Structure 1
């Protein structure tokens, strides 16, 4: 893809869409389940260090999603969200097949590869990263 405005608009739309989903899932973990509920679920699926990873995943999704939306620290945030989705894939969804209706991995896969793509491509010119020295080369 070139360096034209169509690329920047596509990256903006992708960042906002993926970011909204991550914010919603982080918010759901924090407010509907509560950290204790997330810890209990993580314990039930044998997630590593569930007492800590529940906090990490909840706030990564909430704050990381918001950072994606504004296009801040996208190489790091995109990669961390990709890792989050790898964990969800391995620990929860892989054994259920593709379709989300069956508890499958289609949403996790889409969010993970989308996050990784944003990490690799950068946030584009319509982003906070564009204004940060050192990160603007990723835009």
Structure 2
């Protein structure tokens, strides 16, 4: 339950942060190479918030975890990968750990105090198969989104010193 609350709460906060300024979020998506940046802004706000709420509630845990993996996969590829590992240099450390935590949560299951347990859905997909579904669907969704909407921006030109 602690992992669900921490991971889900983080995703809710992240999604609401995107949603509080859709125009600013859309400009940011456009600046990092996404076509249809307004669509990306809305989708990220909705998916992150909904996945977070579902994780906190323990509802549809493998699918909610897949949404987190997908979101982190897009962020990792489009923004963080080129910066190396460490988050203090805008690297992929954070997004990798969030994606792995989501995959682990799918494997562990939602726990006793969850919607999935109340509906007995936690017995349908568990363990390694649940983790594989979360990771596989998340990676597939991220790959599809990147292929459809993202073009790597050209590297910024370096300024040339005019003085000899």
Answer whether TM exceeds 0.5 for this pair.
yes
Give the Cα–Cα distance (whole angstroms) in 2 for the partners of residues 53 and 119 of structure 1: 26
Structure 1 counterpart SS, 2:94: helix
Return the alpha-carbon distance in structure 1 between the equivalents of residues 69 and 28 of structure 2.
20
Match of 1:119 in 2: 106
Number of aligned pairs? 125
Partners of 2:111 and 2:88 lie apart in 1 by 34
Unaligned runs of 5+ in 2: 127-164
Give 2:89's aligned residue: 102
* Corresponding residue of 1:28: 17
For 1:35 and 1:73, how far apart are their aligned partners in 2?
27
Quick one: distance in 2 between partners of 1:50 and 1:121? 35
> Using the alignment, how far apart are the partners of 1:75 and 1:64 within structure 2?
10
Distance apart, 1:22 and its partner CA: 0.9
Task: Supply the RMSD in Å over aligned alpha carbons.
Answer: 1.6
Q: After TM superposition, give the deviation of residue 49 of structure 1 in Å.
A: 3.5
1:52 aligned to 2:39?
Answer: yes
For residues 99-134 of structure 1, what are the alpha-carbon distances to aligned partners after superposition, in whole Å with 9 as ceiling and x for unaligned? 11111111111111111222333212221111225x
Alignment partner of 1:136 is 2:122: yes
TM-score, with length taken from structure 2: 0.70
Residue segments in structure 1 that go unaligned for 5+ positions in a row: 1-11
CA distance in 1, matches of 2:116, 2:15: 23
